[in-house]
Chain A
């Protein structure tokens, strides 16, 4: 009788341990997922913000004729800037970027080089949106 009781107690303790371990596993896993996810999002937000701050552009000049504009810019930051969109008075337009020697550079602004953005449209303002999310707004 005593032996049977002892076995029952051992099983009860084992079950309690299993239940406690299961509860702890669920809680720890849930907390870990939440903490990791929030940390990752914060890191991405900080990285985006860092890239944005690192983008430094100076407007050298804008020349306009009847049907097009040329925006001369200098990227005086340390990183290449990629242009996502060019807008004239808030409306997206086509564009091409070229160095002072005429070389087409796609959609990037090389570091410490004068480039000209050719826009086949005219308006009062030009907005340049970069992939880092910076919006440079220039008045013509």
Chain B
């Protein structure tokens, strides 16, 4: 009987531990780039920047940012506060900016976000400018 009690108690402890591990493992903060493009416009020093992100994690994102550095090292970005981007949902933004960009040159695009539980996610991607 004592052995059985010990075994059951041990089993319950292991089960609880597994459950908490499973909850931790199931919390994923991740943004995927569905699409990103950078186009040098024919007029002046202007560039068109567009980005589509998807929350492929399991926690909503509260803040999202997507930006790039132009030739003069100026950081140009979209920032979305109070985004509430739910898991599986997408967020798109596009606009033209005063930026020094050359066609066929590569630029670093930075993506970052903060989830509702305070976790931070960030990634970078190299994008070739079109134009």
Q: What bracket does the count of chain A residues touching chain B fall in? A: 35 or more
Interface SS of chain A: helix
Chain A, Cβ-Cβ closest to B33: A45
Note all chain B residues with C-beta closer than 8 A to A12.
7
- Smallest CB separation, A37 vs chain B (Å): 4
In the complex the two chains form, is A90's CB within 8 Å of B46's CB? yes
User: Smallest Cβ distance from B121 to chain A, in angstroms?
Assistant: 14
Given A8-B3, A135-B37, A89 and B43 touching (CB < 8 A)?
A: yes
A interface footprint on B18-60 (CB within 8 Å = 1, 0 otherwise): 1001100110101011110101011110101010101010100
Do residues B32 and A19 form an inter-chain contact, with CB atoms below 8 A?
Answer: no
Cα distance, A56 to B56, chains bound together (Å)? 32
**Residue in contact with B41 in the complex, picked from A11, A19, A38, A127, CB distance below 8 Å:** A127
B46 surroundings in chain A (CB, below 8 A) = 89-90
Task: Give, as a whole number of angstroms, the nearest-CB distance from B86 to chain A.
Answer: 14
Q: Is B11 in contact with chain A by the CB < 8 A criterion?
A: yes
User: A26-B25, A44-B54 given as contacts; is B37 within 8 A of A15 (CB)?
Assistant: no
B34 touches A48 (CB 8 A): yes
**Is A66's CB within 8 Å of the partner chain B?**
no
Determine the distance from Cα of A36 to Cα of B94 in the docked complex, in whole angstroms: 28
| A89/B52 contact (C-beta < 8 A), A15-B10, A137-B131 known | no
A139 proximal to B (CB < 8 A)? yes
When chains A and B are docked, how far (Å) is the Cα of A135 from the Cα of B10? 63
Question: A15 with B25: in contact, given A90-B41, A90-B48 (CB under 8 Å)?
Answer: no
A19's partner among B18, B34, B54, B90 (CB-CB below 8 A) is: B18
B123 interface residue, CB < 8 Å from A? no
Are B42 and A125 within 8 A (Cβ)?
yes
Instruction: Return the CB mask of A20-31 against B: 1 if under 8 Å, else 0.
Output: 001100100010
Does A61 have its Cβ within 8 Å of any Cβ on chain B? no
B60 to chain A, nearest CB (A): 15
- A residues near B43, Cβ cutoff 8 Å: 89-90, 123-125
A137 to B48, CA, bound (A): 10
Q: Find out whether the CB atom of A45 lies under 8 angstroms from the CB atom of B7.
A: no
What are 17 inter-chain pairs, A to B, with CB distance below 8 A?
Answer: A11-B7, A15-B10, A15-B11, A19-B18, A38-B56, A44-B54, A45-B35, A87-B96, A90-B41, A90-B43, A125-B43, A127-B41, A129-B48, A129-B94, A133-B50, A137-B41, A137-B131
